[in-house]
Amino acid sequence: MSTANSVSEKVITTHVLSEMKARGEKISMLTAYDYSMAKILDSAGIDVILVGDSASNVMAGNITTLPITLDQMIYHASSVQKAVNRSLIVVDLPFGTYQGDSREALHSAIRIMKETGCGAVKMEGGEEIADSIKNIISAGIPVMGHLGLTPQSINKFGTYAVRAKEEAEAKKLISDAHKLEEAGCFAIVIEKVPATLAGQIAKEVKIPIIGIGAGGYVDGQVLVLHDMLGINKEFSPRFLRRYADLFTTISDATKHYISDVKSGDFPNENEQY
């Protein structure tokens, strides 16, 4: 049992997550894309680390998640895996590596598992990718689903606004959540939908529902690390709580360093050989 000051030694598996849902313990999840950050999150006791394709935005500076490649995701995921002892690591299958056909989806998922040593993959979409999900799961690879606002489909949506406010889309979302559960997903991320709808889905399905901008009635929460640490200050949706202002902290430290170098204060007698 972990408390605010102690981290449980128990390694987190998909089975542990389902036990957490069964006993009403909320699941914590954050993104990470590199060794150093992953080490901090793992030792702090985060349950799930997502090597998200948001790496395309926060690490590579792209406007969308679409450009990131499978090779780039594998690079990020293997760096994260080397740092982690306890958390379950889930890796996003990037855009264009699973939507077409279920053999290609399986091939992409196998590459991630073989080349990174991580524990599961995440895929965006509902009924339309259920066959690919089944194919991947039958190869022994755990799959996390992702519904609601699915950023890989931004060109179809045209906006990052809240999804499933209308009845037809809400019905499709509920039906997709059941389809993903039937297909064998061990959990589903639901992004940016009304809180009551996400809460209803969390009640209806047995697998954990992890929300982002989906309110507090779900089984866990995920945020993008750079957003919650205040490294990336350009993105401030209503659902985002900032736990630090690292942009300012790092900027101030950098300015201090520049000033010390320019003035000759750094290095001093004790900082040289």
Provide the annotated active-site residues.
191
Query: Does 74 interact with ligand KIV (rule: CB under 6 A)?
Result: no
Residue 219 CB, shortest distance to ligand KIV, in Å, is 14
Q: Which stretch binds ligand KIV (CB under 6 A): 46-54, 132-140, 162-170, 229-237?
A: 46-54
Total binding residues toward ligand KIV, as defined by CB under 6 A: 11
Half-sphere exposure of 161 (CA within 13 A, CB side): 7
Query: Does 125 interact with ligand KIV (rule: CB under 6 A)?
Result: no
Nearer to ligand KIV, 146 or 179 (CB): 146
Residue 189 CB, shortest distance to ligand KIV, in Å, is 5
Query: Does 212 interact with ligand KIV (rule: CB under 6 A)?
Result: yes
- Distance, CA of 100 to CA of 232 (rounded, Å): 33
Residue 72 CB, shortest distance to ligand KIV, in Å, is 13
Neighbours of 268 (CB within 10 A): 9
Query: Does 97 interact with ligand KIV (rule: CB under 6 A)?
Result: no
Query: Does 54 interact with ligand KIV (rule: CB under 6 A)?
Result: yes
Which residues in this chain contact ligand KIV in the complex, by CB under 6 A? 31, 50, 52-54, 92, 146, 189, 212, 222, 224
